[in-house]
Structures are given as structure tokens and as C-alpha cells.
């Protein structure tokens, strides 16, 4: 293999990892109260499409109003 094949493989690998972790990134960015659990569901069950969609939906649920 030429070096460009390895570079292309690395670029696609990083892109795939980013897409795989989108639900976790959303949960951490929004400071979701269950961001750790969203991450675990995404990490462990994200391989299945149902687990990934579940983590995505969970990470985008409305956040509760914060107490003042």
C-alpha cells in the first residue's frame, strides 16, 4: 500500500468515529444531566442502529428548567 492509502484510511476512520459519537458530543455540548449514561449507551449499543438512534434521541430531549 502506498502512503496515501493509509492517509485516506485514517481520514475515513476519524470521520466514522466522529459520526459514531455524535449523540455523546451533543449531550456533552448541551450539558445534559445524564451525559455519562448517554455516552455509555452510545459507546456500548451505538453499534446497533437502534442504540445509536436511542442515544441520539436521548441527547436531544428537552432539558429540565434549572433551579435558581
pLDDT in tens, 1-28: 799 999 999 999 999 999 999 999 999 9
Query: Does 43 map to a domain?
Result: yes
Predicted local confidence at residue 65, as pLDDT: 82
Residue 10 lies in a domain: no
User: Could you read off the pLDDT of 21-57 as tens digits, one per residue?
Assistant: 999 999 999 999 999 999 999 999 999 999 999 999 9
Query: Model's pTM, two decimal places?
Result: 0.85
Q: Write out the chain in H/E/C secondary structure.
A: CCHHHHHHHHHHHHHHHHHHCHHHHHHHHCCCCCHHHHHHHHHHHCCCHHHHHHHHHHHCCCCCCCCC
Whether 55 is covered by a domain: the verdict is yes
Domain that holds residue 38: 20-62
Residue 8 lies in a domain: no
Q: Identify whether 7 is part of a domain.
A: no
Residue 9 placed within a domain = no
Confidence of residue 67 (pLDDT cuts 50, 70, 90): very low
How many domains does the structure of the chain reveal? 1
Tell whether 54 is covered by a domain: yes
Amino acid at each position: 500500500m502506498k502512503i496515501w492509502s493509509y492517509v485516506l484510511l485514517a481520514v475515513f476512520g476519524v470521520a466514522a468515529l466522529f459520526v459514531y459519537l455524535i449523540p455523546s458530543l451533543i449531550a456533552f455540548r448541551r450539558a445534559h444531566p445524564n451525559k455519562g449514561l448517554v455516552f455509555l449507551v452510545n459507546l456500548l449499543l451505538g453499534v446497533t442502529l437502534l442504540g445509536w438512534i436511542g442515544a441520539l434521541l436521548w441527547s436531544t430531549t428537552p432539558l429540565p428548567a434549572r433551579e435558581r
